[in-house]
Amino acid sequence: MNVDAPAPTRRTQVNERTILDARGLTKHFPIRNAFGWQTGVLRALDDVSFTVDKGEILGIVGESGCGKSTLGKTIMGIHQPTDGSLIFEGNDIAGAAPSAARERRRHLQYSYQDPGASLDPRWKIRRSLHEPLVIHHSGLNYDEREERVRAILQAVGLPVGHLDLYPHEISGGQQRRVGLARILTLQPSLVVLDEPTSGLDVSVQATILNLLMDLRKQFDLTYLFISHDLSVVRMICNRIAVMYLGKVVEFGETEAVFETPCHPYTRSLLSAIPTIGGARVIDTFSLEGEPPNPGNLPSGCRFRNRCPMAQQTCAEVEPELRADWPGQEAACHFAQ
Amino acid sequence: MTSDLLRVRDLKVSFATDGGTAQVLDHVNLTIGRGQIVGLVGESGCGKTTLARSILGVLPKNSARLEAGTIEFDGVDLLRVDPNRLAATVRGRRISFIPQDPFSSFNPVFTIGAQIMDLMKWKSPELDDADAGRSGWLPRLHGSRRYKADRERVLDLLRQVQLPDPEGVLKKYPHEVSGGQRQRLMIAMALLPEPKLIIADEPTTALDVTIQAQILKLLRDLATDHGISVLFTTHDLGTAWEICDSITVMYAGQEMEAASSEGFFKRPSHPYTNRLLKSLPSRGGSLSGIPGSIPALVDPPTGCRFNPRCEFATDICRQTRPEVTSAGPGHDVRCYHPVAEEKRHALA
């Protein structure tokens, strides 16, 4: 199922195919005590920069709490970024007023992690699918909307009869399909997929992944693929960004990162994936400890407390992403 | 036949639902050897949790019905033992449990130490079987000999599960420790009564992959050290490969294939197992799901329940369920048309 998009560009290089350009994107949440006084800052995203090319699939991977969902939601405008700019199809959507940004963001859509919870349990599927058209294309009458909805429903592989069912009457895999149909009615160009296969059985996951690839071809879509499942990411993404505690620690072409991971965190993360038929991870895995509290980060490199290569410099200087490898960048002082 | 610790034979369990009687387990067999880690894999709704609950004896009383079969544990049929006696001497003592979700398994308003010490009142390995049913009701002094012994035992186990600062952890509330640490505590609590069998219900599903690797290693090392058997239910075949000595795969309430871990991934014989292995994401390979969907258990297909989705199905598959046949040493398969050697989708 390897992807047939054009060769990806470097991380922050803008060209005529660039569809999204994130520059120094930062999101800090205040930590407040019981009286409402701010006692600290939770750095959910810190100076994240990258570009997304039209037609590519960019994977955002990392463990829970690393900021990957915050990144998706900040791009979507669900969170206002603390700092940084976000250029989507030539317009800055980070600083714009909410109403203007919503207009500019019509072609940017977000697929929620849990489609069961994002569909109204008291609405039939038909009404849920009509809703985005009612909001964004108020000129259409009922019949025109129904026509579009039926076409989309067919594209995601659901029978028309499902329009008259309620969300609880269909399976988890079918709910995902409805969630995708809901997004596609607006003809987006970039879709943020937040954990599109979590909670699905492997056989259903396979059909959903195949569907995502078909839809991408059919509707000319670009995906920002947020996932913690590295084997899925390896299979479908062109490039990936590995995040750790709000920072991108490694970025590059998927194969390069998986074959020769440079950052020690990426290496540990990849070595933790079970390979059926290969050496057992539990015999070889060495990373100890757990990620620190994101409200109280270590100085310098955020990974240094768990890093086998950490030295004095790591506590003093925060490493920047270095583009020292072909098709790959890593934020580590000692990566070779 | 005392070599096996647990032998489930022909277990049939049904549930009363609004839509009719759901045949959740259909004559299921399962064997766990002493000191073995057995993986019970299958997709959601295949009955793996129901099987685990049947062994523990905690099926919902109102809706579940045990229709047939035996669960032989250490030579005794658990289904014929008095339920009160089962609660006092087997459940939580000979057989303990690690839940899927470490977040909702602690009571948020008591300290971790209070909860663990409360467990010890009932399930301490120092209790003899006659005491076990009532000792928990008795008040206990913190200075008593048994309290001190139990506390020492708890601290010792917390060190074994590699929790930093065991004394401090006991004073904390559940929300003050991370998910990985909570799962370590759960493992420690499962080991405290010195059981012979631990039932671990998807213990790493809620955890990140690096924490998962740590927890799996811990669970395997401790089970080996203490000589405990583990029934490990999971839907993730990768974790099953990591930790299990043998694997049983279930589909829609029927067990389909049981084999050693190597045999399961190297020589998958059942068509369902082959389709399942084919749906795993692999590099560069094509991805194929399984056409169709899981049948409703209220009105399941007759015969082999996989037959509507199976490419090899014939009339006999629709009429009667295949008997267990051997596909090699220690490799059992229930299929009339096991997949031929050259067509198997081997991963190992």
In chain A, the residue whose alpha carbon lies closest to the alpha carbon of B290 is: A203
**φ, ψ for residue B263, nearest 5 deg:** -60, -35
How many structural domains does chain A have? 2
Q: Are A81 and A138 members of one domain? A: no
- Under an 8 A CB cutoff, do B209 and A228 touch? yes
Residue B124 pLDDT class (50, 70, 90 cuts): confident
Q: Are A80 and A194 members of one domain? A: yes
List CB contacts (< 8 A) between B287 and chain A.
Answer: 1, 206, 209-210, 235
- Domain with A326, as residue range(s), is 18-107+188-330
Residue type, A313: T
Q: Are A240 and A150 members of one domain? A: no
Q: What is the reported pLDDT for A118?
A: 85
Paired residues of B232 in beta bridges:
B39, B200
- The residue ranges of DSSP E strands in chain A, in sequence order, are 18-32, 38-53, 57-61, 83-88, 91-92, 108-111, 190-194, 222-227, 239-244, 247-253, 322-325, 328-330
Number of CB atoms found within 10 A of residue A221's CB: 22
Q: How far apart are CA A245 and CA A68, in angstroms?
A: 9
B4-247: CATH topology is Rossmann fold (3.40.50)
Q: What is the reported pLDDT for B1?
A: 46
Measured between alpha carbons, how far apart are the two ends of chain B, in Å? Answer: 32
Q: Would the pLDDT of A309 be above 60?
A: yes
3-state SS of chain B? CCCEEEEEEEEEEEEEECCEEEEEEEEEEEEEECCCEEEEECCCCCCHHHHHHHHHCCCCCCCEEEEEEEEEECCEEHHHCCHHHHHHHHECCCEEEECCCCCCCCCCCCCHHHHHHHHHHHHCCCCCHHHHCCHHHCCCCCCCHHHHHHHHHHHHHHHHCCCCCHHHHHHCCHHHCCHHHHHHHHHHHHHCCCCCEEEEECCCCCCCHHHHHHHHHHHHHHHHHHCCEEEEEECCHHHHHHHCCEEEEEECCEEEEEEEHHHHHHCCCCHHHHHHHHCCCCCCCCCCCCCCCCCCCCCCCCCCCCHHHCCCCCHHHHHCCCCCEECCCCCEECCCCCCCHHHCCCCC
* Structural domain contains residue A336: no
Q: How far apart are CA B186 and CA A308, in angstroms?
A: 29
For chain A, the average pLDDT equals 89
Average pLDDT over residues A57-65: 91
Q: What is the CATH number of the domain that holds A326?
A: 3.40.50.300
Across A151-160, B75-84, B239-248, B280-289, least confident range:
B280-289
Q: What percent of chain B has pLDDT over 90?
A: 60
* Structural domain contains residue A193: yes
Predicted ipTM of the assembly? 0.83
Q: Chain B closest CA to A106's CA: distance in Å?
A: 32
- Under an 8 A CB cutoff, do A269 and B241 touch? no
The closest CB to that of A63, out of B208, B239, B285, belongs to B208
B194: number of CA atoms within 13 Å, CB side? Answer: 8
- Under an 8 A CB cutoff, do B210 and A63 touch? yes
- A203 at B interface, C-beta within 8 A: yes
Q: Are A77 and A43 members of one domain? A: yes
Q: Which residue has the higher pLDDT, B136 or A230?
A: A230
Q: What is the reported pLDDT for B284?
A: 60
Optimal mutation site among B210, B221, B233, interface A, most CBs of chain A within 10 A = B210
User: B51-109 pLDDT, tens per residue?
Assistant: 999 999 999 888 899 999 999 999 899 999 998 888 888 998 999 999 888 778 899 99
Number of CB atoms found within 10 A of residue B314's CB: 11
Q: What is the reported pLDDT for B333?
A: 94
- Under an 8 A CB cutoff, do A203 and B347 touch? no
Q: Are A159 and A91 members of one domain? A: no
Q: Would the pLDDT of B132 be above 80?
A: no
List CB contacts (< 8 A) between A206 and chain B.
Answer: 279, 281, 287-290
Q: How far apart are CA A257 and CA A262, in angstroms?
A: 7
Mapping DSSP to helix (H, G, I), strand (E, B) and coil, where does residue A86 land? strand
User: A26-54 pLDDT, tens per residue?
Assistant: 999 998 988 888 888 889 999 999 999 99
- A39 at B interface, C-beta within 8 A: no
Centroid of chain to Cα B201:
5
Q: Are A147 and A207 members of one domain? A: no
Across B70-74, B198-202, B326-330, least confident range:
B326-330
The closest CB to that of A287, out of B210, B282, B348, belongs to B210
Q: Are A34 and A92 members of one domain? A: yes
- Which structure tokens are listed for B229? 């058997």
Q: Are A127 and A236 members of one domain? A: no
In chain A, the residue whose alpha carbon lies closest to the alpha carbon of B293 is: A204
- Under an 8 A CB cutoff, do A282 and B237 touch? no
Cα R_g (chain B), whole angstroms: 21
- Under an 8 A CB cutoff, do A282 and B243 touch? yes
The closest CB to that of B241, out of A210, A274, A287, belongs to A274
List CB contacts (< 8 A) between A173 and chain B.
Answer: 293
Q: What is the reported pLDDT for B348?
A: 66
Q: What is the reported pLDDT for A77?
A: 86
DSSP letter, residue A239:
E
Q: How far apart are CA B300 and CA B14, in angstroms?
A: 12
Under 8 Å CB pairs connecting chains A and B tally to: 111
- The residues, ordered by sequence, that sit 6+ positions from A22 with a Cβ below 8 Å of its Cβ are A48, A49, A50, A51, A75, A84, A85, A86, A87
Q: What is the reported pLDDT for A112?
A: 86
- The residues, ordered by sequence, that sit 6+ positions from A41 with a Cβ below 8 Å of its Cβ are A28, A29, A30, A31, A295
DSSP letter, residue A160:
G
* Structural domain contains residue A8: no
**Could you tell me which of A134, A185, A125 has the C-alpha nearest to residue A158?**
A125
List CB contacts (< 8 A) between A1 and chain B.
Answer: 284-287
Q: Are A181 and A193 members of one domain? A: no
Q: Are A54 and A195 members of one domain? A: yes
Average pLDDT over residues A79-93: 89
In chain A, the residue whose alpha carbon lies closest to the alpha carbon of B215 is: A282
Mapping DSSP to helix (H, G, I), strand (E, B) and coil, where does residue A289 land? coil
Mapping DSSP to helix (H, G, I), strand (E, B) and coil, where does residue A85 land? strand
* Structural domain contains residue A316: yes
Residue recorded with tokens 């026509």: A147
The closest CB to that of A282, out of B209, B216, B286, belongs to B216
- Under an 8 A CB cutoff, do A2 and B241 touch? no
In chain B, residues under CATH classification 3.40.50.300 are 4-247
Q: What is the reported pLDDT for B34?
A: 93
Strands B76-77 and A322-325: unpaired
281-310 in chain A: CB under 8 A from chain B: 281-282, 285, 287-288, 290
Q: Final residue of a domain: which of A187, A203, A236?
A: A187
User: A4-16 pLDDT, tens per residue?
Assistant: 555 556 787 888 8
Q: Final residue of a domain: which of A162, A187, A212?
A: A187
The closest CB to that of B275, out of A203, A204, A205, belongs to A203
Q: Are A239 and A292 members of one domain? A: yes
* Structural domain contains residue A5: no
How does DSSP assign A1-54, residue by residue?
----PPPP--TT---TTEEEEEEEEEEEEEEE-TTS-EEEEEEEEEEEEEEEET
Measure Cα distances from B219 to A60, B5, B183, B244 in Å. 30, 19, 10, 11
List CB contacts (< 8 A) between B288 and chain A.
Answer: 206, 210
Residue B205 pLDDT class (50, 70, 90 cuts): confident
Q: Chain B closest CA to A9's CA: distance in Å?
A: 22
List CB contacts (< 8 A) between A290 and chain B.
Answer: 178, 180-181, 211
Q: Chain B closest CA to A201's CA: distance in Å?
A: 6
Average pLDDT over residues A194-216: 89
- Which structure tokens are listed for B266? 């190297």
A220: left (phi over 0), alpha (psi -120 to 50) or beta: left
Q: Final residue of a domain: which of A187, A202, A237?
A: A187
The closest CB to that of B283, out of A235, A268, A290, belongs to A235
Q: Are A222 and A285 members of one domain? A: yes
Average pLDDT over residues A179-195: 92
